[in-house]
Structure 1
Amino acid sequence: MIELPPKPRAVSDNRRPRWVHRLAQEAGLFLAATMLGIAVILYCVVFLIAQRHLPGGFELTSTVNSTLPLVLAAVAQTLVVLTRGIDLSVGGVIDLTNGLAAITLDGSAWGHAGQPGTGSIGTMILGSLLVLAVGGVCGLINGLLVTLGRLQPILVTLATLSIFQGIAIRVLPQPGGAVPQGYTNLLANPNWPTSVLWLVALAVMWWMFRRTRFGVGVYAIGNDAAGAAAIGVPVASVRILAYVLGGVCSGAAGLFLAATATAGDATAGNTYTLTSIVAAVLGGVSLFGGRGSGIGAIFGAFVSSMIVNILFFAHIDPLYQSFYEGVFLIAAVVLVGGIGHLLRRRY
């Protein structure tokens, strides 16, 4: 009788499944999406109790319209934070570009404006390009001072915040100006969800950015600038370009803010400096650079907006809304950071 050799022992495979690896790498993004889902459900419940019906298309459109400036500001912040920097001038750039939008889109800055709130297509295109270009120049100034001047990002952008705010007051000394109704309908139509299309377009652009050489370079610099330089990444130019692109996104936030309000205010962007950082962190973007996603920052912006809406419809005293908003945001940031760290450590 021939004796068969024993079956070989199964070699333990310590390799983790692909989905586990993906979860560990994008823990912040998944947590932000989960938090947004919870916030939306809670908002619907509070809205139903307060209004006796569920939120409909108008409420959805209004929420997206009012959140889009914060979404763009959060993406602008994310681009800089990924390079292990920070941009405290986001609010100042929004102030400046918001004021510029209010006086250029209807042609008043060019000396040929018609009725208030009207403007030709050419005037609106020219005004939009000017606003975006100004945002890019603001980002370029920050990038040059940080990269070539070798100054700390927090000090540079804190100084330029004050400079941009001062220029914004000079451009629009008091709230006013006018945004053409057609421009508002294109960017933030209150009766049709055009803003959702812009939101989808922004998400697609981020997906494309992640797959470009520039996008790979941004993440490489945030993880290890010396190592990125060793493999041929042009660290200086990539970092400067990240600040420029962040400035363009902040300029776009100023445009959307003007389109939503149909006018300009040189102080309307002040709150976006801190809220853009909060939205980025809620979206899983690491302040140490090299980890995070613009998609997560978009989710984080909507989580922050939902918290404000929940407090409003819960009839919280406006004097205490900032307190509760801060408490919820701190709890959310700690939760995102803690769970994300645990997942990455365990898997």
Structure 2
Amino acid sequence: MNRSGALLSTIRQNRGFYGALVLLLVIYLIYNILHPRGFSSAVLIQNANEAAAIAFVAMAETVPVLLGGLDLSVGAVMTLTACLASVVVNGSPSEIVFGMFLTLLCGATFGMLNGIIVVYGRLQPIIVTLATGAIAIGLALFIRPKPGGDIDGDLNWAVTNSLWDFVDTYQLFDPDAGWFAPIAWIPVPLILLAAVAVFVWLPYKKSVTGRTAYAIGSAEGAAFMSGLPINRAKIAAFTMAGFLAGCGGLYIAIQTSSGNADVMQAGAYTLNSIAAVVLGGTSLLGGTGGAIASMVGAFILRVISFYFRIVSIDPLLQPLIEGLVLLAAVSLGAIRTLRVKNRLELFR
């Protein structure tokens, strides 16, 4: 097969992702054209801050979806880790680093427990995570009965602004250096998302465990007969989901300098993460898609909400419009199911 044929084959196999990417570029371009301060670093930084947390949670939701299940606890785990971070991410630099490590460890451990219960309890993920999500909210309320916290101020400023501000805050080198100018405007939240995608998601996806997760979503029976480590892959997938949800919780705690055990927030993030997964082209039936695609889906959801600031829409109608968008996004995942004539086709 020549290069053009291989390229066309890749596009066909990933048409959902490429379609979502094109949609994101188009609607964000139009948003900047309509915005009075469009195409500025300040607008990009603000947008990146608002999209980062949901992007992390969407990445977290992707991994269980690849198995063919849903994790309804990702929003609650994000809330739990945010509340924990609001307590431990402060003090000396070493204490801050340890607090961040403890926060991410909490998320990963909670996800691992989800996986263990699903595998050895032989229960459906949607049922298990619905219950464990309630436990996570209970723990969050125990840590933070009232909203509050004491996140390090320098960390808050450095992580929620541009690379120039990050370098200037910690005096890493001269932020006005000529070689640094071309990238100094890039928002740190986007750098963090890219770092997690490159150094966490891609190695996982290429590993035997990651490939097994895809195989389970495609046809678990065939994966089992092939001798793949089914149980290990499921536990690892939920552990990864917990870790990524913990990344979201850590970020939102740093961004807001506080923790808030908000049940409504947890539910909203979970629902939005599922919609972002579908918008990114990942099938709810499992086996296809990826966390980077879900990140794109999360950006699409956030850009749609950005339009409310520049388009005259009654605030009372905004929740209705957002709800319709979410419903449409989740409904896309059922199209394949509605089209099949034979149920066996669902497992091909």
Aligned to 2:14: 26
CA distance in structure 1 between the aligned counterparts of 2:243 and 2:306, rounded to whole angstroms: 28
Aligned to 1:38: 26
CA distance in structure 1 between the aligned counterparts of 2:191 and 2:215, rounded to whole angstroms: 31
Deviations 1:169-206 (A, max 9, x none): 11100110121022223432365622221122123233
Q: 1:337 offset after TM fit, Å? A: 7.2
1:224 alignment partner, SS class: helix
Residues 42, 310 of structure 1: 8 Å contact kept:
no
1:189 alignment partner, SS class: coil
What are the within-5 Å matches in structure 2 for residues 284-299 of structure 1? 284-299=281-296
Aligned Cα root-mean-square deviation (Å): 2.4
2:266 alignment partner, SS class: coil
Residues 95, 270 of structure 1: 8 Å contact kept:
no
Aligned to 1:179: 151
Aligned to 1:237: 232
CA distance in structure 1 between the aligned counterparts of 2:258 and 2:279, rounded to whole angstroms: 30
What are the within-5 Å matches in structure 2 for residues 1-347 of structure 1? 17-47=5-35, 51=36, 53-106=37-90, 119-189=91-161, 193-205=187-199, 206-267=201-262, 268-332=265-329
5+ unaligned residues in a row in structure 1: which ranges? 1-12, 107-118
Aligned-partner residue type, residue 318 of structure 1: P
Residues 77, 280 of structure 1: 8 Å contact kept:
yes
Residues 31, 38 of structure 2: 8 Å contact kept:
no
Q: 1:336 offset after TM fit, Å? A: 8.2
Residues 209, 229 of structure 2: 8 Å contact kept:
no
1:177 alignment partner, SS class: coil
Residues 80, 261 of structure 2: 8 Å contact kept:
yes
- Identify if the C-alpha distance between structure 1 residues 148 and 132 changes in structure 2 by more than 3 Å, giving closer, same or farther: same
Deviations 1:72-108 (A, max 9, x none): 10111001110111100011111111111111112xx
Aligned-partner residue type, residue 309 of structure 1: F
Q: Percent identity over the alignment? A: 35
Residues 145, 151 of structure 1: 8 Å contact kept:
yes
Deviations 1:52-87 (A, max 9, x none): x42410110111122111111011100111011110
Q: 1:338 offset after TM fit, Å? A: 5.7
Q: 1:212 offset after TM fit, Å? A: 1.7
Aligned-partner residue type, residue 73 of structure 1: V
CA distance in structure 2 between the aligned counterparts of 1:243 and 1:162, rounded to whole angstroms: 17
2:312 alignment partner, SS class: coil
Residues 278, 332 of structure 2: 8 Å contact kept:
no
Higher helix share: 2
Q: 1:153 offset after TM fit, Å? A: 1.0
Aligned-partner residue type, residue 141 of structure 1: L
CA distance in structure 1 between the aligned counterparts of 2:147 and 2:285, rounded to whole angstroms: 38
Aligned to 1:109: none
CA distance in structure 1 between the aligned counterparts of 2:271 and 2:291, rounded to whole angstroms: 17
CA distance in structure 1 between the aligned counterparts of 2:244 and 2:54, rounded to whole angstroms: 10
CA distance in structure 2 between the aligned counterparts of 1:126 and 1:286, rounded to whole angstroms: 37
**Larger Rg, first or second structure (1 or 2):** 1
Q: Which deviates more from structure 2 when the two are superposed, residues 75-84 or residues 309-318?
A: 309-318
Residues 274, 330 of structure 2: 8 Å contact kept:
no
Aligned-partner residue type, residue 147 of structure 1: V
Aligned-partner residue type, residue 135 of structure 1: G
Aligned-partner residue type, residue 188 of structure 1: T
CA distance in structure 1 between the aligned counterparts of 2:270 and 2:209, rounded to whole angstroms: 25
Residues 82, 253 of structure 2: 8 Å contact kept:
yes
Aligned-partner residue type, residue 43 of structure 1: Y
CA distance in structure 1 between the aligned counterparts of 2:278 and 2:208, rounded to whole angstroms: 25
Deviations 1:123-146 (A, max 9, x none): 111111111111112111211111
